[in-house]
Amino acid sequence: MQLGEAKQEFIQNWGSLGSQWGINRTMAQIHALLLISPDPLTTEQIMEELQISRGNTSMNVRELINWQLVKKHHLAGERREYFSAEKDIWKVFLHILRERKKRELDPVIRVIHDLQQVNGNEKDRDVKEFKVVLHDINKLVSKGDRAMETIIRSDESWFLNTFLKLLR
């Protein structure tokens, strides 16, 4: 397989992986493109490579910057902005984990906590079942939350060497 073909394949796959996990396909494709580019790219180059519009590029690059997966470069004597991706794949993973925890897990934890305050007679089967399920979910989610916190705070070597060797 030749490089151009392999790059295309990689970009398409990264894109569909993203969309299966609720991340905009184009956002994931731009990320893939920047990941495998040795040098930062301009908006124009991204548009050209992925055959997408200026607006689409602008919106998704901004979102990638919010996720801290991509950063802007201002080159001396250059009007255009250049963009590059974080290349350390462990950091990429941590940024995504942190962002999704903040956007999704944290709100869920709040809702579960509120719902556990439901009024009702404990002898009522419906109330009992509801409380049991919420209690169990709360226990698991809290543990997941603590695990994520630990991973987010830890560095790669700790995680890979200590945790994964243990799991083996």
Partner DNA sequence: ATATTATTTCAGAAAGTTTTGAAAATATAA
Partner DNA sequence: TTATATTTTCAAAACTTTCTGAAATAATAT
Residues that bind its own copies (CB under 8 A): 1-3, 6-7, 9-10, 13, 17, 19-22, 35-38, 87-90, 93, 104, 108, 111, 114-115, 117-120, 124-130, 133-134, 136-137, 139-140, 143, 146-147, 150-151, 160, 163-164, 166-168
What is the DSSP secondary structure assignment for residue 37, as one 8-state letter?
A: -
Q: In sequence order, which residues have a C-beta less than 8 Å from that of residue 61 and are 6 or more positions away?
A: 30, 43, 46, 70, 83
Q: Give the x/- contact pattern for DNA in 57-76, rule: CB under 7 A.
A: -xxxxx-----------x--
- Tell me the closest approach of the beta carbon of residue 59 to DNA, in angstroms: 5
Encoded tokens for 163: 């945790």
Choosing among its own copies, DNA, none, which partner's interface includes residue 150 (Cβ < 5 to 8 Å by kind)?
its own copies
Whole-number Å distance between alpha carbons of 18 and 90: 17
* 58 CA to centre of own chain: 19
Among residues 24, 114, 20, 30, which one has the least CA distance to residue 69? 30
Residues in contact with DNA by the rule CB under 7 A: 19, 24-27, 42-44, 51-56, 58-62, 74, 77, 79-81
